[in-house]
Amino acid sequence: MILVIGIGNPARGDDAAGLMVARRIREAAAPCDVTVAELAGDQLALLDAWTGAREVYVIDAVCSGGTPGTVYRFDAAEPLTAHFWHCGTHTFSLADVIELARALGRLPARLTGFGIEGATFEPGAPLSPEVEAAVEAVTALLLRELRENRSRAG
């Protein structure tokens, strides 16, 4: 199974970036062997969410002081040497959960992460234009990869 997980708080402006990517992938009729999930809040739930998945993509918002809309990509095959922060209201950052999963032998065989740098995380705010564009870009990229994977597999 290929799993796409969008993470974020829909009530906190650009924090919803990951959720928006997940929704758009779902709306764009992702290949049938792709499951799309949304996660708001406790990121430790990832450990259960990705159990049994062969390949996982995780998309999350980031506030690291970079230019809003910047997209970061990482492959969890390499240990994440420092925190790849999510600035929502979570105890564990995405990097923490990945490293915890690695320590517990609960990482999926292949895990790719996308971080989208946010501009505003105010309650009730809409996505900023920069993040809206980044959400479009990540969605398009991911859909292309998912389809290429499928055609390779098929």
Partner 1 sequence: MTNISVPALARVEGEGGLEIVVSDGRVTEARLDIYEPPRFFEALLRGRRYTEPPDITARICGICPVAYQMSSCAAIEDACGVTPPEPVQKLRRLLYCGEWMESHALHVYLLHAPDFLGYESGIHLARDHPDLVHRGLRVKKAGNLLMEAVGGRSVHPVNVKVGGFYRAPDPAKLTALIPAIEQARQEAEATVSWVSTFDFPDFDRDYEFVALRHETEYPITQGRVSSTGGLDITPAEYDAHFTESQVPHSTALHSALDGRTYLTGPLARYSLNSGNLPADVQQAARAAGLGASCTNPFRSIIVRSVELLFACDEALRLIGSYEPPDPPALDVPPRNGTGYGCTEAPRGMLYHRYTITEDGTITDAKIVPPTSQNQKAIEDDLKDFAATRLSLSHERLTWECEQAVRNHDPCISCATHFLDLRLTSGQPAIQAVRRT
Binding residues for partner 1, rule: CB under 8 A, are 9-12, 39-45, 47-48, 63-66, 72, 74, 80-85, 87-92, 96, 99-100, 103-105, 115, 121-124
**Tokens encoding 144:** 């292309």
**Cβ closest to partner 1, residue 47 vs residue 137:** 47
**Cβ closest to partner 1, residue 83 vs residue 147:** 83
Least gap, CB of 127 to partner 1 (angstroms):
16
**H/E stretch holding 57:** strand 55-62
**Cβ closest to partner 1, residue 38 vs residue 55:** 38
Least gap, CB of 105 to partner 1 (angstroms):
7
Q: Could you give the CA distance from residue 56 to residue 49 in angstroms, rounded to a whole number?
A: 10
With vertex at residue 96, the alpha carbon angle to CA 90 and CA 97, rounded to the nearest 5 degrees, is 80
DSSP bridge partners of 153: none
Cβ atoms < 10 Å from Cβ of 67: 8
